[in-house]
Structure 1
Amino acid sequence: MTDDTSLILSDHPGGVACITLDAAPVNALTAENLMAFATLIERLETDDTVRAVMIASSCKVFSAGLNLKQAQTFGVAEQHAIVKGLNQGFLALFKCSKPTVVAVNGAAIAGGLFYVLSSDVRVAAPAASFGLAEVRVGADFPLGPLEIARAMLSPNDLRRLMMTGQPITADEAKISGIVDKVVPAETLLQEALAEAAALGKIPPNTYASVKRQIRGSVIDRIEGGIAAGANAPEGGWFTDETVPAMRSMLGG
């Protein structure tokens, strides 16, 4: 277990540590669970018994991003807290020196998609869907998620997902390279665990070095931005369009 009740940690053969997102009903992101996630990733990264990290969900929805009903009440301090959580949580996963695999069973939307984009190998069930809905709720992207999306998505996928806010299917995501495999739902966890165990057999220092070669410049930009104040944007994260757009999305 972990200190955060929304995260369940389990150990599996091959030195695979699985983090199961367990914040029913839709694994909504909060400042608290994102920072707890970052702390857990950093802890696993320093654990020599862990060869690879896997992320899964106990909910039908993999992760739907922010709880819009709560988010529309956020003041500046709460906006800063969630921006910090998004930056730190997904940076920790993106820069993790160990292999990371994600098993996507359902919708991975808005902030929830960054569990996918920040992972090394992505395995999905047919019912999974993938989207970046921020534009539809009047919000732009914090620095960390923005840089990760730029690095991990092709220009046309970046355009389509970010500017329309509409989701794509698992098969479409596989064609785009957003996921690596689409497998039957009943074998999803087994397949993802096998992928993680296989990656865990790669010489660990070499794996970490190659990963840093690929992602180092992006990591440096995010860390530099955080040092310059990106966790606390002046005036907060939201604009005068954000709350009305959130209400509209909720049918208000």
Structure 2
Amino acid sequence: MTEWIDVQDAGDGVSKLVLQRGPVNALTPAFLDEIEAEIARLAQDDNVRAILIASAFRTFSAGMDLKEASAFDTESQSAVVDALNRCYLTLYSCPKPVVCAVSGGAIAGGLFFVLASDHRVATPDASFGLAEVRVGVNFPIVALEIARAMLAPNDLRRLMQSGQPYRCAQAAEAGIVDVVVGPEELQQEALAAARRLARLPAQAYAQVKAQIRGALSADMAAALPENRNSWFNDETRAAMARVLEGQG
């Protein structure tokens, strides 16, 4: 267990990684570093055969902590871009099955945990969005490439260029969500899915996943040194302020 993550042994080879940076799992460089470190650790643990990512709150993750981000200087902007890229790359490249249990919002940076996972379970109230354009920033390279790999062109266009979210039914139709269950069933269904995946031959699963994702993972890793530049533009702080005030 770390400051913002509770790692639980869920039995049958499943480790449950519960995000608990209240109230909405808003992302910061330090939080992203903790998530990356835990995923990397679990990926190397031979006793772990599947990973389940869940939230301790009604919201899965609201994305970047805008209150903190609005005060970022150039160095902090580079640090958060680097943290986002490394965290998402580690998750996308994880050789083990990863299941996501989603309720409430998985917005902006929060959605990439869903897109990078292997199986997604959600409740009817869940929403899924890429709000970066609304807060005046573009996409870090790893986030962009994961979105391109996991979303159909028209869903990519609608989500990324409008900044407006999909409701759960839309997300299921788009293939962002695999299973929709009631709130009282979410954790049970997600755990059952993780246990099913954990029973598969581990080496074969890792090899097949690498066949699907390995080339893109290598390309993204190679691009990281060139993508540590500042993130904001002349419009960013004003756009973040509007969103924080409920006007964006």
TM-score, length basis structure 1: 0.96
Structure 1 match to 2:216: 218
* Mapping for residues 1-252 of structure 1, pairs under 5 Å: 1=1, 4-226=2-224, 228-230=225-227, 232-233=228-229, 236-251=230-245
| Sequence identity (%) | 51
C-alpha distance in 2 between matches for 1:136 and 1:7: 28
Aligned CA RMSD, in angstroms, stands at: 0.9
Alignment-mate amino acid for residue 176 of structure 1: A
Runs of 4+ aligned structure 1 residues displaced above 3 Å come to: none
C-alpha distance in 2 between matches for 1:241 and 1:8: 37
C-alpha distance in 2 between matches for 1:185 and 1:136: 29
Alignment-mate amino acid for residue 229 of structure 1: E
Greater displacement, 67-76 / 125-134: 67-76
C-alpha distance in 2 between matches for 1:60 and 1:13: 24
C-alpha distance in 2 between matches for 1:154 and 1:202: 28
Question: Structure 2: which 5+ residue stretches go unaligned?
Answer: none
C-alpha distance in 2 between matches for 1:188 and 1:160: 27
C-alpha distance in 1 between matches for 2:190 and 2:161: 31
Alignment-mate amino acid for residue 18 of structure 2: T
Tell me by how many angstroms 1:217 deviates: 1.8
Number of matched pairs: 246
C-alpha distance in 1 between matches for 2:158 and 2:107: 14
Question: Structure 1: which 5+ residue stretches go unaligned?
Answer: none
Tell me by how many angstroms 1:229 deviates: 2.6
TM-score, length basis structure 2: 0.97
C-alpha distance in 2 between matches for 1:68 and 1:35: 17
